[in-house]
């Protein structure tokens, strides 16, 4: 998958978003944890995570009102970005600098991981 997630799209366990330069990957792991890995230089280092392993995470979606939500098999929220209603027309981008950003009108949330290795 590309480094972009739009409203109406989702990630399932084992799926990921990869930055255009290939150095960063956001993956919804099969254990339920959502993690950003730095993959540059041949190593793979976790730089950010939701810490949701073992909570039954099954789907990562972006709401039309700019909230990034991780839900379990029953549809209950396991984790969210807490950015509901802060912007409209959102897009989630795994950037080349390692920052995962929700862009909307205006940008509403990011992981703050740009430049971390």
Q: pTM score, two decimals?
A: 0.86
pLDDT digits (tens, 9 = 90+) for 12-36: 999 999 999 999 999 999 999 999 9
CATH number for region 4-110 = 2.90.10.10
Identify which has the larger pLDDT, 105 or 9: 9
The pLDDT assigned to 106 comes to: 67
pLDDT digits (tens, 9 = 90+) for 51-110: 999 999 899 999 998 889 999 999 999 999 988 777 778 899 999 999 999 998 767 788
Using a CB cutoff of 8 Å and minimum separation of 24, what contacts does 16-21 make? Answer: 17/92, 17/94, 17/100, 18/94, 19/94, 19/95, 19/96, 19/98, 20/96, 21/96
Domain ranges of the chain: 4-110
């Amino acid at each position: 998958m590309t480094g972009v997630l739009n409203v109406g799209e989702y990630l399932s366990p084992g799926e990921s978003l990869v930055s255009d330069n290939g150095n960063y990957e956001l993956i919804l792991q099969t254990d339920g944890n959502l993690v950003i890995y730095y993959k540059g230089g041949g190593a793979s280092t976790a730089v950010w995570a939701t810490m949701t392993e073992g909570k039954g995470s099954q789907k990562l979606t972006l709401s039309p009102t700019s909230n990034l939500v991780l839900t379990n098999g029953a549809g209950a929220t396991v984790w969210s970005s807490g950015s509901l209603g802060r912007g409209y027309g959102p897009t989630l981008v795994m950037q080349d600098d390692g920052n995962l950003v929700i862009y909307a009108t205006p940008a509403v949330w990011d992981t703050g991981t740009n430049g971390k290795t």
